[in-house]
Structure 1
């Protein structure tokens, strides 16, 4: 089976106060992938101004709703435009555009409905040890809670077939959406694979990354969701 055409792939980039890096992130993507949707999630810095002439399709939330809501907005638009594959890609510069093709490949080959990027199967650059510990703990918790045997539960680099993206609805607006997506994969019995990717930890992304308190908040949200659900 031949690889998918870049025109069949739409990349959704949620961004909140990513002014210093967002133009570079989008430029890297647009060199290989013509369909990029940037969702400005009510940024209070100059993100909106910097998105203006990048070549990406820009959608703006009037207020900050959270990354989960930004992803759902972008996914809905990608599907409405006829995307065959939808890729989610963080706006802080941690992800590499060259990893997108590897994510889409197993979907195009019919081997999976969802491809999940894994830094622990791939690699990291500049990853703090404290961050590694938080991610390992979050992964252990989510593997038990979601019932999926995966190595990296909070990686924003993912790919979905159009059918999978249409079936999956993100209701957790904040960062707990990452674990919610895994719960949905299991609930919907979607076929998934993990794909090795590289995550780059820059000074900017480390400054914006989740703290231990954020991780505890995510776990609390997920526990409440399980109790209520």
Structure 2
């Protein structure tokens, strides 16, 4: 047990998991600090008898304030490093030696337990949100990052000398991102250590809200970039230079991030006109879409489930398909989508159950249960679809039609686009903009790959 490390554990309603984590943490340090952030359960009671420092917040103040208060307490103990980990069980204290081993090689840096190498164990929404955050934070910090959102870290104590950073409740999940930028400005980088991704089926819902918190993180990064004139050196060091190394060539798993970078540069160089064109195309596609019933194959794109059931938007896609079934009872239905987030069944299976309840014959329903996004959906469909006829009716939400249709055509399908009757709302505006960005990314990648004859990338996004 070491006295050179203080272990800080922020906790909010973690009574079920906290005691085991704290007991395990005590095996590695005699300075363990738990910050109970206004929990409404027995979070404090389950650890009160343990030899720790317990800090109580009368009201919930957010993760940033909890970490900051824990760090201020740790500074009283004259330790050289602070180890932070979550109290919900996603971080195993038994992995602390992995981080400390890396620390021996890089004693002046931040060490982060990186989970993203184990993609299959991470909910898809969290995985891709983290990847987006990695890109922007790496740009602002000026070096590549593996898992910028992991809270399992070892910080050098000197980082917090005279450090000014927001700890407001609004900054709950911005704090751990901004500190990487602030550290880089002081010459302190982060190094990643691969750790298992722990997402149990009975885990409580994450306090991290993907869209909201990634938006706040992006706004924070944008502020830092604008203050540094968009920091082109950071963009080059974090995203361009690493991809120019010889071992990058031919690795399609990296190509998507390079395409995202190129898409961003195109938007900047065209002053946003190219993105506006993408948005107009998304809207034009919706207006031009017709739901014809003269093809024999109906493809329904899945959507994230809610409590293992289709949500309202997914039901609208399924209802649209069933309306076609009323007109042509010989239709074959292909439902796409594997297991995502914390669901116990695949998106396609849930959709199939719904259609069967409505009266569609099970023999006319085919499920694809491996894919986790639209590109994978259509690539898997291309592998299993009858080679004699590639005509399909593609059903998805209106805002999604343009990108899904473009991808389907690149995989060799003749497509009749059929919009589900999604009710318009303020959320739909954000989704139209999001789809325009993703469509811009896809088209940029397609054009770049054809110009450069990049077969590795083309093999992922088309059959041509």
What's the TM-score bracket when you normalise by the shorter of the two chains? 0.7 to 0.9
SS of the aligned residue for 2:61 comes to coil
The TM-score, its normalising length taken from structure 2, stands at 0.44
Matched, 1:138 2:133: yes
Query: Which residue in the other structure is 2:213 paired with?
Result: 215
SS of the aligned residue for 2:86 comes to coil
Please report how far the alpha carbon of residue 141 of structure 1 lies from its aligned counterpart in structure 2 after TM superposition.
2.3
Which of 1 and 2 has greater Rg?
Answer: 2
Map residues 24-43 of structure 1 onto 2, 5 A cutoff.
24-43=20-39
Query: Which residue in the other structure is 1:23 paired with?
Result: 19
Query: Which residue in the other structure is 2:145 paired with?
Result: 150
Map residues 1-229 of structure 1 onto 2, 5 A cutoff.
6-109=2-105, 111-121=107-117, 123=118, 126-166=121-161, 168-173=163-168, 174-205=172-203, 207-219=205-217, 221-222=219-220, 225-226=223-224
In 2, are the aligned partners of 1:25 and 1:91 still within 8 Å (CA)? yes
Gap regions ≥5 residues in structure 2: 228-464
The alignment yields a C-alpha RMSD, in angstroms, of: 2.5
Structure number with the higher helix fraction is 2
Whole-angstrom CA distance in 2 between matches of 1:166 and 1:59: 21
Change (3 A) 1:46 1:222: same
The TM-score, its normalising length taken from structure 1, stands at 0.85
SS of the aligned residue for 1:156 comes to coil
Whole-angstrom CA distance in 2 between matches of 1:132 and 1:114: 22
Structure number with the higher strand fraction is 1
Please report how far the alpha carbon of residue 115 of structure 1 lies from its aligned counterpart in structure 2 after TM superposition.
1.2
SS of the aligned residue for 1:200 comes to coil
SS of the aligned residue for 2:40 comes to coil
In 2, are the aligned partners of 1:125 and 1:200 still within 8 Å (CA)? no
Query: In the TM superposition, what whole-angstrom CA distance separates every residue of 1:167-187 from its partner, at most 9, and x where no partner exists?
Result: 544424411112111111111
Whose relative contact order is higher, 1 or 2, with alpha carbons under 8 Å and at least 6 apart? 1
Change (3 A) 1:31 1:184: same
Please report how far the alpha carbon of residue 225 of structure 1 lies from its aligned counterpart in structure 2 after TM superposition.
4.6
Query: In the TM superposition, what whole-angstrom CA distance separates every residue of 1:42-81 from its partner, at most 9, and x where no partner exists?
Result: 2122212223113321011222111111111111111111
Change (3 A) 1:172 1:70: same
Number of residue equivalences: 224
Query: In the TM superposition, what whole-angstrom CA distance separates every residue of 1:187-228 from its partner, at most 9, and x where no partner exists?
Result: 111143222222311235461252333334433551575489
Whole-angstrom CA distance in 2 between matches of 1:81 and 1:94: 27
